[in-house]
A and B are shown apart, each in its own frame.
Chain A
Amino acid sequence: MAYSDKVIEHYENPLNVGTLDKNDDSVGTGLVGAPACGDVMRLQIKVGDDGRIEDAKFKTFGCGSAIASSSLATEWLKGKTVDEAETIKNSMIAQELNLPPVKIHCSVLAEDAIKSAIADFRAKQKAKDAISTAAPKTEQSNANAE
Chain B
Amino acid sequence: MAVKLPIYMDYHATTPVDPRVLEAMLPYFTEKFGNAASRSHVYGWTAEEAVSIARERIAALIGASNPKEIVFTSGATESDNLALKGVAEFYKDKGNHIITTVVEHKAILDTCKRLEKEGCEVTYLKVDKEGRVDPADVEKAITSKTILVSVMFANNEVGTVQPIAEIGKITRAKGVLFHSDAVQGIGKVPFSVDTMNVDLASITAHKMYGPKGIGALYVRRSKPRVRLTAQIDGGGHEFGMRSGTLNVPGIVGFGKAAEIMRVEGEAEAKKLVALRDRLKKRLYDKLDAVQLNGSATHRLPGNLNVSFSFVEGEALMMAIKDVSVSSGSACTSASLEPSYVLHAMGIGDDLAHSSIRFGLGRFNTEEEVDYVADLVTSKVQKLRDMSPLYEMHKEGIDLNSVQWAAH
Contact = CB atoms under 8 A, between A and B. Distances in A.
Interface in B307-333: 310-312, 314-315, 318, 329-332
Contacts of B332: 1
A41 B387 CA distance: 8
Interface string A51-63: 0000000011111
Interface centre among B330, B349, B386, B399 (most CB of A within 10 A): B386
Contacts of B390: 61
A88 to B, nearest CB: 18
Instruction: Tell which of A11, A19, A61 has the most Cβ of chain B within 10 Å.
Output: A61
Contact of B318 (A31, A39, A64, A108): A64
A73 interface: no
Interface residues of B, number: 30
B386 A17 contact: yes
A14 interface: yes
Contact of B336 (A35, A59, A62, A102): A102
B353 A38 contact: yes
A61 B310 contact: yes
Contacts of B310: 61
Contacts of B273: none
B348 interface: yes
Contact of A34 (B318, B331, B405): B405
A40 B404 contact: yes
Most central of A34, A105, A109 by chain B CB within 10 Å? A34
Contacts of A34: 404-407
Contact of B349 (A37, A60, A62, A108): A37
Interface in A16-36: 17, 19, 31-36
A60 B388 contact: yes
B386 A14 contact: yes
Interface in A58-98: 59-64, 66-67
A42 interface: yes
B367 interface: no
A40 B349 CA distance: 13
A38 to B, nearest CB: 4
A11 B320 CA distance: 12
B388 A36 contact: no
26 contacts: A1-B331, A1-B332, A3-B318, A11-B315, A17-B386, A32-B405, A33-B407, A35-B350, A36-B348, A37-B349, A38-B338, A38-B349, A39-B312, A40-B388, A42-B388, A59-B387, A60-B386, A61-B389, A63-B315, A63-B329, A64-B314, A66-B312, A67-B386, A105-B407, A146-B392, A146-B397
